[in-house]
Amino acid sequence: TYMMIAVLVLSCFALSAQRFEGGLLAGITASQVDGDSYSGYNKIGLQGGVFVSTTFRKNFGAQMEIRYAGRGAQKLTTTDDTKVYKLALHYIDLPLMATYTLKKKVIFDLGIVPGYLFAKRGEDNDGRIPKEFLVDFKKIDIAWLAGVNYKITDKLKANLRYSYSLRSINDFKDTFAYYSWIGNLLGYRTGDYNNYLTLGIYYQIY
């Protein structure tokens, strides 16, 4: 149902091409999970999908996307610490945001990212973590986002965004727990939260 609604909305936008712009997006994610015992944006993933955007007034507008995005966490090993931990979370996201254009070249984003978790995988020193130990992850993640775009050409722009979950991504009650500065600022003391950066390239088709 979630994806059907997203596809219908995107189709309606596309049918109004005289008012809307649309195209393809691709890029990478760098993520961590606030609430586990590790820090650092060490989990590198991919993102890709489609977008539509419109302008309401001279500088204000909106944008919607449907994308795949890989998130998760990864511990970096060293010669002194060989403990392995990797967590891969695969989402279909529907970012919805307001935009503000500054001097035609720079565009700011602010919005929310509803995401559907369709696959997950964990790994430690014993190999792949059994699925029964990953069952507590919630299917729906909702995050806020803030970003900035730079128009390279009329058809091509680069985008950098920061996103953070609004609620815990699993049902864990007790954690180890490490929280980044934003998690501490928000007062989180329990639960796990996706904390990630995305770097993308957007190509306008129409």
- pLDDT tens column, 125-177: 888 888 877 778 999 999 999 999 999 999 999 999 999 999 999 887 665 67
**Tokens in use for 192?**
């796990």
How much is the mean pLDDT over the chain?
A: 88
Question: Residues 86-125: pLDDT tens digits?
Answer: 999 999 999 999 999 998 899 999 999 999 999 999 998 8
Residue 39 near residue 188, CB atoms below 8 Å: no
- The helix/strand/coil state of 119 is strand
Model-wide pTM > 0.85: yes
Residue 22 near residue 55, CB atoms below 8 Å: no
Residue 72 near residue 43, CB atoms below 8 Å: yes
Amino acid at 108: F
| Amino acid 6: pLDDT | 53
| Amino acid 81: pLDDT | 82
pLDDT band at 17 (very low <50, low <70, confident <90, very high): very low
Q: Give the whole-angstrom CA distance, residue 166 versus residue 188.
A: 11
Q: Can you give the length of the chain in residues?
A: 206
| Amino acid 130: pLDDT | 84
Residue 94, CA distances (Å) to 27, 33, 127, 163, 182 in order: 16, 20, 32, 13, 23
